[in-house]
Every structure is written in structure tokens, then in C-alpha cells.
Amino acid sequence: VQLQASGGGLVQAGDSLRLSCAFSGRTLGNYAMGWFRQAPGKEREFVAAVSWSGRDTNSADSVKGRFTVSSDSAKNTVFLQMNSLKPEDTAVYYCAAAGPLTYSRGNDIYSAASQYDFWGQGTLVTVSS
């Protein structure tokens, strides 16, 4: 499994960005996906996750109402739509995959980094005030 995150950049506070995570090597189905971020000098933190069925999502309190995670199995891609960006959202954003999962875990969502098996290289998001 290979993950390629893209879409980061330099934006102003209040702007929007959409990050993409291209999933290759296997089919996106049967993999739960997540987004994490790491700001300079801080630990990596959970941002948002989606189940492999695509029906269930979860996000960190710090981004609820602003960020939305979604998946497109036909395109083998996961997205993170980020609206109303704040300077404190500045970080390197990573996508991660957990799996393959059995059908019974189709609605599982994972928020701990240790639950993920594969990681992308990260994309930098910088939000200026």
C-alpha cells in the first residue's frame, strides 16, 4: 500500500483547502483511513477519520464543524476539506490507512496513530494570520 498526500499550501486565515490522499497498491475498500497532523515542536495528533464503508466519520474537537473527511472508492482517494482555517491549523498533514479489515469492521473508525498500518509522506499546510 502506498499513500500520497497532496493539496497543502500557504493560505490566509479564513481560507479553505482540500487535501487529497491517493491510495495505491490495493483497493481502498477494506481500509479505514485517517488524517493526522504535526505542528513544529508538537506531537502528531488525530484530525479526522473515515471507515472503509465510507459511512462513518469522526473528527477532533479542534476541527469539528470546519473540516470534513470523505472517501471516493472509485478514485481510490480520501479527501480532507478544510474550511475556516486558523493559524493554529498550520502543520504537516499525514494520511494513514488501517487494514485490510474484515466486513464486520466496515464501520470502525480509528483515532490513534498506533491503529494505522500505512502512512503517507505528509503535505505542509501553512495558515497566515
Residue 74, pLDDT above cutoff 90: no
Alpha carbon 36 to its chain's center = 6
Nearest to 83 by CA among 102, 108, 110, 59: 59
The C-alpha cell 503535505 sits at 123
Q: What is the pLDDT of residues 30-55, one digit of tens each?
A: 899 999 999 999 999 999 999 988 89
pLDDT tens digits, 78-113: 999 999 999 999 999 999 999 999 888 888 999 999
| β 57-59/45-50 pair status | antiparallel
